[in-house]
């Protein structure tokens, strides 16, 4: 009989912040969680020094597990995707993998926290997608009705409604 490992408070908090299971949390996301849950400011500073000593602004699951001496594969199995990570999103059209959709939704959430201006948000998303998945990404943020005709690389198209915005995110083929 296999014993189930109980997650400590740190791990519970990590996954409460990383609801989309994107593999990282940002410092603004962590701060917001801690403020909403009346967690002492010293705990935020402790997390920052333990898990983001290089001040990247992100705590990756890999670094988190490394510091706590946890096996990332075990942690991932215990917190497997439950299917509700995109509950605040309506997918209009997509041919992406679930992991990529979750990553993009996580980037959108992160960008919304950081940028109040949609132009800066679109720029942030494009730069992050270019960095993680290669160049040639397009990000369009729309309010209201729209018509679109575009080509995209197979497996790299994602069109969603989130809150009052439509996000059209796709990668064009390198011709």
19 plus 47 within the same structural domain: yes
Answer yes or no: do 97 and 165 share one domain. yes
Which of the residue ranges 1-5, 14-18, 40-44, 154-158 would you say has the lowest mean pLDDT?
1-5
Is residue 160 a part of any domain in this protein?
yes
40: in domain: yes
* Residue 17 sits in the same domain as residue 68: yes
pLDDT at 23: 84
**Is the residue at 1 inside a domain?**
no
Which of 38, 58, 78 is the last residue in one of the domains?
Answer: 78
Do 134 and 64 share a structural domain? no
- Name the one residue in this structure whose structure tokens are 């009052």: 164
Residue where a domain stops, chosen among 78, 111, 133:
78
Of 21, 29, 155, give the one whose Cα is nearest residue 96: 155
Q: Is residue 4, in this structure, part of any structural domain at all? A: no
- 167: β partners: 141, 160
Which residue range is the domain that position 103 belongs to?
A: 89-171
Question: Quick one: 98 and 43 in the same domain?
Answer: no
Return the CATH number at 103: 3.30.740.10
Instruction: Return the CATH number at 16.
Output: 1.10.238
* 49 lies in the same domain as 99: no
Return phi, psi of residue 142, to 5°: -130, 145
Q: Which residue, 15, 43, 19, is CA-closest to 31?
A: 43
- Could you tell me which residue, 25 or 175, shows the higher pLDDT? 25
- The predicted pLDDT at position 80 comes to 55
**Range 76-84 average pLDDT:** 55
Give the pLDDT confidence score for residue 38 in this predicted structure: 85
Task: Say whether pTM exceeds 0.85.
Answer: no
Q: Which pairing describes strands 137-142 and 165-171: parallel, antiparallel, or unpaired? A: antiparallel
Q: Of 25, 43, 78, which residue is a domain's last?
A: 78
């Amino acid at each position: 009989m296999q014993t189930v490992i109980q997650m400590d408070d740190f791990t519970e908090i990590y996954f409460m912040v990383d609801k989309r299971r994107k593999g990282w949390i940002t410092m603004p996301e962590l701060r917001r969680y801690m403020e909403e849950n009346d967690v002492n400011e010293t705990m935020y500073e402790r997390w920052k020094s333990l898990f983001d000593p290089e001040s990247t602004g992100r705590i990756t699951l890999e670094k988190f597990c490394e510091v706590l001496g946890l096996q990332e594969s075990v942690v991932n199995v215990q917190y497997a995707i439950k299917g509700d990570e995109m509950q605040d999103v309506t997918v209009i059209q997509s041919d992406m993998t679930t992991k990529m959709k979750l990553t993009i939704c996580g980037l959108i959430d992160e960008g919304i926290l950081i940028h109040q201006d949609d132009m800066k948000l679109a720029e942030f998303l494009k730069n992050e997608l270019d960095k993680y998945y290669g160049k040639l990404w397009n990000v369009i943020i729309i309010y209201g009705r729209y018509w679109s005709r575009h080509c995209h690389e197979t497996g790299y198209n994602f069109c969603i409604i989130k809150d009052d915005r439509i996000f059209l995110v796709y990668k064009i083929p390198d011709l």
